[in-house]
Amino acid sequence: MQGDRTGTGDVAGSLESLPDRPSQVRPVDVALLGRLAGAELNPRTAGSGPGPLLDPAAGPHTVTGATLRAGSVRPGDLFAALPGARAHGADFAAQAIASGAGAILTDGAGADRPEIRHSRLPVLVHPNPREVLGPVSAAVYGEPTARLRVLGVTGTSGKTTVAHLLEAGLTAAGRATGLLGTVRTRVQVPGHPARALPSAFTTPEAPDLQALFAVMVEAGVTDVAMEVSSHALALGRVGGSRFTAGAFTNLSQDHLDFHPTMTDYFEAKARLFGGGGAGVEAARHGVVCVDDEWGRRLAARHRDAVTVSSDPRGAPATWTVRDLTAHPDGTQTFTAVGPGGLAVPVTLSLPGRYNVANALVALAVLDADGIDPEVAAAGFARASVPGRMQRVDAGQPWLGVVDYAHKPAAVAALLDALRRQVRPHARVITVLGCGGDRDTGKRPLMGAAAAIRSDVLVVTDDNPRSEEPGAIRRAMLDGAFGEPARGDVIEIGDRRSAIVYAVRSARPGDAVVVAGKGHEAGQEINGVKYPFDDTDELVAAIRAAT
């Protein structure tokens, strides 16, 4: 699914990996799964005559795993054959059956395929199998989130940072933690080295997610911090998961290649707080940042939610901030003010006002999870997030930053934050591109947002994918030149050359930010992913210039 890919395992790439499934799974009766899902077990279908038969003498039919990829089926698995935009999962049923599938979950069209109709396997038929796949997968793996405290974070921007801050606060409190997100998926249990978890999406598909939860239970994890994407909420990937707390950061234009409107995008995010269907259960505690209109709308809908605001002139909130100081080295200090006048001093190594909001969200979530806010704040002081307002220091006399900002609002927030961070006469130099095969409408908006806020804007390539790179740059330049630019706007297609130009242009006290790719370790051009890491490239350019 576009817009939801991530790397596998930990960004460091050197951690021992945990398995993708638990070592012990108790067999689950397929008939029980059918009752749970409201699915029919081996009904007669359109062209099946008397319908598929099960041997009544065989006793209960059971499964010991679940997957929706035929190539990943293991003996005894429930194979979910889901309808798709380009193909039906039932098209791959023969492969799944040959690999030892023990049962199939599908819709009426899938059940009527000859490979399934004549298989004599237990077949669960539901009009919307994706909607029930989450609860079914949770049942297969023994309802693992019933034994975990799961803290979910949704929103356009800030999910990754909040999840890392949650992990840092939990670790400071001595909790055994799991982290599921865009940059890292890992487990940290006191007394043991950190271990990586396999994951291919910001939020894995339902069977994979429930299997990972079960793996975490086996590893001794008690608390999980996880990013919850809009794709996952709309497609039911988190169905069957029990959230101790759910947090909303903000909403701005993104993923409109998947969601038809901003309202649809918002409603997908709101499912974490209840009432949205797709098998998603409401989080027990809600935390909502009310710094934007979408957050205020969500808070008005859920009056019992804890609210946070980093804007002294903004809406009233449960958690607010005072005495905020941004330091030239990129750190920030402030006091978080919570319920009953509770005052918690916080130090962040992450620049930007929006990271103050992220820290408040994390603090409120951890408070709901029973963590002492002062202990959590001590953990925040040591937290860093690869590619998220990541400071890069190679001995240069100016502030270097790598950030994942790849949406108009995120670009604006990033550059506004850096403007406040540097001294009054210092310059902000920005290197920025847009990804190909994604929402085309945001390209001129990103160009405009960067041009208005940069003293030097270098428009370059991001991941062009299958598109012509020059066309993407032209769309960005149309936006950049359509507004009164603050300074110079330059086009340098080659990303390495663009970074070198920015570094050579920097003066003491300036800020140079390389934006758009963040933690990514490759650049995708015409179906080929070439090694490319913005942090490494920025360091190399700094060293070459000194």
CB-side exposure of 261: number of CA atoms within 13 Å? 3
Q: Is 341 annotated as a binding residue?
A: no
Most confident of 49-53, 157-161, 348-352, 537-541: 537-541
Q: Is 157 annotated as a binding residue?
A: yes
pLDDT at residue number 44 = 53
**Residue 290, in any domain of the structure:** yes
My answer on whether 34 and 160 are in the same domain is no
CA gap 82, 89 in Å, rounded: 5
| CATH number of 176's domain | 3.40.1190.10
pLDDT at residue number 8 = 36
Question: pLDDT over 90 for what percent of the chain?
Answer: 77
Higher pLDDT, residue 439 or 514? 514
Q: Is 520 annotated as a binding residue?
A: yes
Instruction: Return the structure tokens found at 17.
Output: 């990996």
Q: Is 203 annotated as a binding residue?
A: yes
User: Going by DSSP bridges, is the β-strand pair 343-348/332-337 parallel, antiparallel, or unpaired?
Assistant: antiparallel
Q: Is 237 annotated as a binding residue?
A: yes
Query: Can you tell me which residue has the tokens 């992450």?
Result: 350
Q: Is the pLDDT at 513 greater than 90, yes or no? A: yes
| Helix spans in 350-505 (H) | 353-368, 373-380, 408-421, 442-453, 469-481, 495-505
Q: How many CB atoms lie within 10 A of CB 114?
A: 12
Q: Which domain holds residue 170?
A: 143-313+353-380
| CATH number of 94's domain | 3.40.1390.10
Q: Is 159 annotated as a binding residue?
A: yes
My answer on whether 459 and 496 are in the same domain is yes
Q: Is 143 annotated as a binding residue?
A: no
My answer on whether 149 and 80 are in the same domain is no
Q: Is 438 annotated as a binding residue?
A: yes
**Residue 348, in any domain of the structure:** no
**Residue 330, in any domain of the structure:** no
**Residue 337, in any domain of the structure:** no
Q: Is 156 annotated as a binding residue?
A: yes
pLDDT at residue number 256 = 53
Q: Is 462 annotated as a binding residue?
A: yes
Question: pLDDT over 70 for what percent of the chain?
Answer: 92
Ranges of beta strands (E only) in 97-142 are: 103-106, 123-125
Quickly state the pLDDT bin for 468 (edges 50, 70, 90).
very high
Q: Is 284 annotated as a binding residue?
A: no
Whole-structure pTM value: 0.84
Q: Phi and psi (nearest 5°) for 345?
A: -70, 135
My answer on whether 200 and 74 are in the same domain is no
Ranges of beta strands (E only) in 327-460 are: 332-337, 343-348, 390-392, 399-403, 428-432, 456-459
Of 433, 527, 387, 424, nearest in space to 11 by CA: 387
- 181 strand-pairing partners: none
Most confident of 3-12, 45-54, 276-285, 378-387: 378-387
Quickly state the pLDDT bin for 25 (edges 50, 70, 90).
very high
DSSP secondary structure letter of residue 112: T
Q: What is the mean pLDDT of residues 371-392?
A: 94
Domain end among 140, 166, 185: 140
**Residue 127, in any domain of the structure:** yes
pLDDT at residue number 101 = 98
Query: Can you tell me which residue has the tokens 């002294």?
Result: 312
Average pLDDT, the chain: 91
My answer on whether 183 and 70 are in the same domain is no
**Residue 13, in any domain of the structure:** no
Q: Phi and psi (nearest 5°) for 493?
A: -65, -45
| CATH number of 527's domain | 3.90.190.20
My answer on whether 476 and 370 are in the same domain is no
Say if CB 280 and CB 242 are below 8 A apart. no
My answer on whether 136 and 157 are in the same domain is no
Q: What is the mean pLDDT of residues 455-482?
A: 98
HEC secondary structure over 76-99: CEEEEECECCCCEHHHHHHHHHHC
Q: Phi and psi (nearest 5°) for 474?
A: -65, -40
Q: Is 463 annotated as a binding residue?
A: yes
pLDDT at residue number 264 = 87
My answer on whether 136 and 147 are in the same domain is no
Quickly state the pLDDT bin for 7 (edges 50, 70, 90).
very low
Q: Is the pLDDT at 45 greater than 60, yes or no? A: no
Q: What is the pLDDT of residues 335-371, one digit of tens each?
A: 999 999 999 999 998 988 889 999 999 999 999 999 9
My answer on whether 83 and 158 are in the same domain is no
Domain count within the chain: 3
Q: Is the pLDDT at 21 greater than 50, yes or no? A: yes
Q: Is 128 annotated as a binding residue?
A: no
**Residue 461, in any domain of the structure:** yes
My answer on whether 66 and 197 are in the same domain is no
Quickly state the pLDDT bin for 397 (edges 50, 70, 90).
very high
Q: Is the pLDDT at 169 greater than 70, yes or no? A: yes
Tell me the Cα Rg of the chain: 24
pLDDT at residue number 247 = 98
Q: Is 60 annotated as a binding residue?
A: no
For residue 380, the Cα-to-chain-centroid distance in whole angstroms is 20
Q: What is the pLDDT of residues 95-122, one digit of tens each?
A: 999 999 999 999 999 999 999 999 989 9
pLDDT at residue number 480 = 97
Quickly state the pLDDT bin for 3 (edges 50, 70, 90).
very low
My answer on whether 112 and 79 are in the same domain is yes
**Residue 86, in any domain of the structure:** yes
My answer on whether 490 and 541 are in the same domain is yes
